[in-house]
Structure 1
């Protein structure tokens, strides 16, 4: 399975920094609130240190000190709550922006890229990776921010209390620093590999469910189960690897950050005995180091989660078409849109796998308004040629151009304005019938929608339902033929001047399909139509017929001329015509 691209670590860091700095005022406010909360938490140790230092002189101030400590605890609690709310609000804004960009990137993906990668990887990125990143943005990032601010302010207070008592904190560095470096060096690749295994599981399950009838008919259940077991085993190994990273890193870090408390007490006591620190300074320093345990623990714990979130962010950023470098496909062109004109194919070669061409030196000229039929045996390259003519694929060599402008140089939106591909695959979105039609033309009125439905022969069932009827998953189901009629109605509303029909009427009964094609021919008078079909009545009605064999054009011409010629097309026509007559 070919996975979609993954953003580099540098790109992830740059994007995360850019996304965070989109709200500088909110970020500054969050930092100030957390800083004030951390400062208010420093007061209690100072007061307790003073009480202990003055313990030999009586406890007259104990009551007042207790009230002050209580006051600052309440203030700190209020500041923490306010800061947490501000962090959560900022996190949701950042997450919303990221989700919107991701949806935009998904919708802008070239169809060739999606087909090459399969649905499993894309589905996993839109579900699991988005959920993981949401947890990171909502919890890991704010908690890490809080911990970092608290640690910095507490260390600053510790230095101001007694610079000498900072030294015991360094006892954790020899074990904590190499452990952190070891973990971070392996975590990114480990989590990326783990996420990739989930993509493979999703892909395998999707294929099995979608092809359930085929699996049952060909008795492939055992083979599909074996593949699922293999995918799960690979996911288990990947998960065990990342678990091993955590089971090594977290215990080492837990022990490392507890040591400074003991060291501060011991070293602080020695300093006090030798007159280098007062009892109050030792007490305050020990309490400050003790206060550091929580934030340090939180920081180290969320380090792992941030690595998981970073891996998911890399996969989400990889969906951005601007980062695609693998495989052919039209780029985000900026050429001036072509006006309706001839579609020209010159010396085109194409391969799905390197070294295995499926098209070999195709040359073809299609005039404006011409109806061209592409026929041939299965595997001849008809659908591949159709995708090249529609700009879905970009040839490995040669060119496909419209009115002198290469399709690869047209921006996707402009390309679809001029050339549209209609296949036997279709989708009914959950919503009203009107919503499903307005996807093609947002400003269309009901009269236009009704006319489009009438043209494709959908008047009866559409009138029974009404434009406000809810259709799609969980609502009124449409038959395959009705869904395809809906898809063709969208096409009419889109109104491109060149159409590539790849067996677009294959799911509609022959009589209805023929009627539908005649209606399309009348409505699309003067437009270019390239019909790729196995039903040869389409070829009979075309201006010219292209016959393909083994990725090459073997014959080309009108129906009658090709039948008289007695070649490949004549054999196909006689065989098909005889079968239809017998039926």
Structure 2
């Protein structure tokens, strides 16, 4: 339908593309429920804002009322003494002072209300996100998460600080002005509504198109952020495989699709705003022209016309305010829907979950896939008794890391079950799982802050001796002790730039502090050179004595030290046994061992 107005929406809709986002966008019912909850939480502040705004508007009506009385008196031949101009001027000055005071209160209370709601929104989003199942967050796209945390919050910041309070102010303002117009000159109140059909028609046309367009625009930006972030993160791989031109073309296509939606939403506004201007002109001209006719027929007085015309002129401001900020809320609504979309994901409630009665980990006929209809694991069954060291080996892409994540409770199986001490991991909350099982993989992060703060993430009540013992357990006490400020040294962005190996040692030190009884190590020492990795693993062996360890590695010396070796091929366990037994069997593991040793 938009084509006849000169422009059509882009044919590409990133909002409807599954590749553009992995976290859901909140449905209208979810958004409305959250808004109602937010309003109820701040109903006292809303009531105070409406009250001071009403007083400010009532004070602003004193001027038109007094001027109308003066004009009415002059039209009836009254002199200056009868008009009591001095008293009128004094009343006007008092009303102006009262209006100024309450306008200041309106702005102050509106800004405070907006900041409080924005703070609540940020906190709610963070708390809800942290409570999501780990697998959901792990599979979420980098660009989508980044755009929600940054762009969507930025868009909502303006809406919360300005749009919501201003919209409330505009509605109260317009309602009081219409009420005053109806009391002062009832016929003029009806005349002021002449512009309503034009305004409603234009707004209906705009608001039928704007929400979906803004949603697609936001999703398009997320797609741009995802493409750029992936290219930067995999920069060396892109360069090694000469994929630069392909990634540039992908980025340019995403940017083109996003800017197409930007142009479309801009065009929608170029239709809405002239409609608003025409409506404003209609209101004032209709009141003046038809009001003049009413005066000539004696239906209203000239003073009523004066007051009514001034009130109609004042009505333009709140109507424009409502429409302006309602348009801003269209953008904010999309960002809000993207932020509250996480509320549609069931958190780890743990309802009905049994407490583990032991420490044995078992996978029973487990099937799992990242995409519907495509399984990565096919009926895997294995038992890991408490205190056992198991090594998962096999070719890349065989499903080793996926199996490790299921054993760590990051993912839940599509069919079958993974249990810890007889309790199903998929039904346990993440916090309870982390008390028993921990995953350390190749990915690690050093947070901005002190080395001590980075270590205390694992256990907040740990003292300095325990922190140093954890660093020593992973051979990190040497370089950490050489830092000028020791544990208080700033690391991460803006501080000490740690090497990949040092960052991995910090992650492993956190593991020592967390002290889980079951560990899943997904190539946890892959960033260290073979000699350092071997030394670190021997140090860890002393610390991890008595714990259950599932190690995923391509370096077969890890497998050599394990109690049990599981060979994963094509999403299945093809061999299971000790190192000596599997070498003697002369199967897949024996071939890998010979290849490793030349």
TM norm structure 1: 0.96
Tell me how far apart the structure 2 counterparts of residues 417 and 435 of structure 1 sit (CA, whole Å). Answer: 20
Q: Give the corresponding residue for 1:264.
A: 287
Alignment of 1:78-157 (within 5 A): 78-157=101-180
Question: 1:8 & 1:251 partners in 2: Cα distance?
Answer: 31
Match of 1:535 among 535, 550, 555: 555
What is the CA–CA distance in structure 2 between the aligned matches of 1:531 and 1:438, rounded to whole Å?
Answer: 25
Deviation at 1:265, TM superposition (A): 1.4
Distance 2:33 2:416 in 1: 38
1:348 to partner: Cα distance: 0.8
- Could you give the per-residue CA deviations for residues 449-498 of structure 1, whole angstroms, max 9, x where no partner exists? 01110111111001112111111111111111111010000011111111
Which of 197, 207, 220 is residue 174 of structure 1 equivalent to?
197
Rate the CA distance shift 1:340–1:487 in 2: closer, same or farther, 3 A: farther
Once the two structures are superposed, residues 329-369 of structure 1 have per-residue CA deviations (whole angstroms, 9 ceiling, x without a partner) of x8432324324421111111111122221111101111011
Q: In the alignment, which of 499, 509, 515 is matched to residue 495 of structure 1?
A: 515
1:57 aligns with 2:74: no
- The equivalent residue for 1:401 is 419
Matched, 1:386 2:401: no
Matched, 1:333 2:350: yes
Shift of 1:218: 2.2
- Aligned counterpart, 1:360: 378
Residue in 1 aligned with 2:13? Answer: none
Could you tell me which residue of structure 1 aligns to residue 225 of structure 2? Answer: 202
Q: Secondary structure at the match of 1:356?
A: coil
The structural deviation recorded for 1:114 is: 2.8
Partner in structure 1 of residue 9 of structure 2 = none
Q: Which position in structure 2 is the counterpart of 1:581?
A: none
**Is residue 7 from structure 1 mapped to residue 26 from structure 2 by the alignment?**
yes
Offset of 1:400 from its aligned partner?
A: 0.7
Cα offset, 1:246, TM superposition: 1.4
Asked whether 1:237 is paired with 2:260, we answer yes
Aligned counterparts of 1:488 and 1:514: Cα–Cα separation in 2: 14
Q: d(CA) in 1 for partners of 2:291 and 2:30?
A: 46
2:571 to 551, 558, 573: 551
After TM superposition, which residue ranges in structure 1, 4 or more long, deviate above 3 angstroms?
none
Give the structure 2 partner of residue 424 of structure 1: 442
1:28 corresponds to which of 40, 47, 52: 47
Deviation at 1:21, TM superposition (A): 2.0
TM-score of the pair, normalised by structure 2? 0.93
| Corresponding pairs, count | 572
Matched with 1:447 is 465
Asked whether the 8 Å contact 1:21–1:27 carries over to 2, the reply is no
**2:355 aligns to what SS in structure 1?**
coil
Q: Deviations over 1:296-322 (max 9, x none)?
A: 1111111110111111111111134xx
User: Of the candidates 58, 65, 73, which is equivalent to residue 46 of structure 1?
Assistant: 65
| Cα-Cα RMSD | 1.4
1:119-147 deviation digits (Å, cap 9, x = unpaired): 10000111110010000011111111111
Structure 2 residue 310 is the aligned partner of structure 1 residue 287: yes
Aligned counterpart, 1:377: 395
CA contact (8 A) 2:357 2:422 kept: no
SS in 2 for 1:530: strand
Is residue 585 of structure 2 the alignment partner of residue 565 of structure 1? yes
Structure 2: stretches of 5+ with no match in the other structure: 1-18
Range with bigger deviation, 231-240 or 213-222: 213-222
Q: Deviations over 1:498-530 (max 9, x none)?
A: 111000000111122122222222222221100
Q: Which runs of 5+ in 1 are unaligned?
A: 579-583
